[in-house]
Amino acid sequence: MPRIHGCDAFRVTMPRGRRPESVLVRLAGDDAVGWGEMAVQDGAGDPGAAWADIETRMGPALIGLDWDRPEDVSAAADLGAREAAAAVDTACWDLWCRTRGLPLAHALGGTRTSIVTGARISPEPAIDTVTARVNKAVGAGHTRVTLDVRPGWDVEPVRAIRQAYPALALVADAGHAYTESPEHLAALEALDAYGLAAIERPFPGGDLAAHARLQTRVGTAVAPDVGDLETLDAALSLQAGRALHLRLDRLGGLTAARSAHDLAYAAGWDVWCSGCGAFGIGQAAAVALAALPGCTLPSDVSDPAGGPVFVTPPVRSSGGVVGVPLTQPGLGHEIDEARIERLATRRLRLST
């Protein structure tokens, strides 16, 4: 088994463009290394607390740990669904698979050889701008689009997109912005007329009862925000939806995400997933996760074309499809460690 001798963490900033940041975790075993990624997003969590969690708790718990499978690490190191757990857990899976020569997708139980991709469209002031961006995504081969909606900016853009693309799988992500007021419920029910694949996160995440009530009023699958397995269990019991967006960062890594997939799949829910971070490692992990049989909707697993490349081959969509690496172990990509070192704004090294 790959005894962990070292844990390195890097806080890395993209060299150009919107300059996103990620915390990258590198675990060194006897004869292989594994990588994981956590996105540092504005307003999403506390990156300082996540870094401290790696430095003072997760990292030291990993050094010299006896383990047979990545699931053992998640339990022994008490990773939980914390912000940095996704990076640490993914790195454990990558290290374990590379040590054994196994593709990550196969180790997780994946059955697909390629992933059909989707794209996300943020709100724009003009509906014409939104439809133009959707047109660009469809032209690139994406077969599902997620549109961010808010009260007062929901029915009209959805109607415009549906008129332009009658067969497109369309998800409306409400970002917890709605309540059960008559006006908000009327808007959500109006969206039901446009053949959506899902209405995602309509209400605050803790209000599963509101999601359950909405699901009885609309034929469209409701997708509540799920950040841990306990919340998913409750959502399944309350019938608070019929779709699940697997977010690696929210669930704390591949171990919990796979369990969530299994529960949703058994319940007959539709599933899609997304990676985290802009450096390719989180996206590569999402590709392996999306290979699971229950991921029935196109997933957000590809890096934007034209940006800097940190993994080889890049995690890129070709005609709306990303191949699952099945001939190389682990994530199936080589990591540009030297470039990551150069771009790191903060470093941490723990070793035996």
List, for residues 47-61, the tens digit of each pLDDT value: 678 888 888 888 888
Reference 322, options 278, 277, 289; nearest CA is 289
**Side chain identity at residue 224, one-letter code:** P
In this prediction, residues 189-199 reach a mean pLDDT of: 97
**DSSP track, 23-54:** EEEEEE-SS-EEEEEEEEBTTBS-HHHHHHHI
Q: Sign of the CA dihedral 273, 276, 278, 279?
A: negative
Tell whether domain 3-101+333-351 is in CATH 3.30.70.360: no
Helices (H) and strands (E) in the chain, counts: 14, 15
d(CA 114, CA 131): 27
Give the phi and the psi of residue 230 in degrees, each rounded to 5. Answer: -65, -40
Pairing mode, if any, of strands 114-116 and 243-247? unpaired
Q: How is the chain split into domains, by residue range?
A: 3-101+333-351, 107-323
Residues 132, 313, 248: CA angle, nearest 5 degrees: 70
pLDDT band for position 64 (cuts 50, 70, 90): confident
Domain covering 107-323 in this structure, CATH number: 3.20.20.120
pLDDT classification of 305: cutoffs 50, 70, 90: low
Q: What is the largest CA-CA distance in the chain?
A: 61
Report the predicted TM-score, pTM, of the whole model to 2 decimal places.
Answer: 0.93
Strands 33-40 and 114-116: unpaired
* pLDDT tens readout for residues 93-152: 999 999 999 999 999 999 999 999 999 987 777 899 999 999 999 999 999 999 999 999
Q: Do residues 211 and 224 make contact, with C-beta atoms less than 8 angstroms apart?
A: yes
Helix (H) or strand (E) holding 199: strand 198-200
Q: Are 271 and 295 in contact (CB under 8 A)?
A: yes
Question: 61: which 2 tokens?
Answer: 């718990």
Is the Cβ–Cβ distance between 245 and 279 less than 8 Å?
no
| Bigger pLDDT: 153 vs 307 | 153
Distance CA 183, CA 152 (A): 10
Share the mean pLDDT of the chain.
90
Averaged pLDDT, 322-349: 94
Q: Strand, helix or coil at 264? A: helix
Q: Is the distance from CB of 57 to CB of 7 less than 8 angstroms?
A: no
Which residues partner with 344 through β-bridges? 12
Higher pLDDT, 20 or 155: 155
By percentage, how much of the chain surpasses pLDDT 70?
A: 94
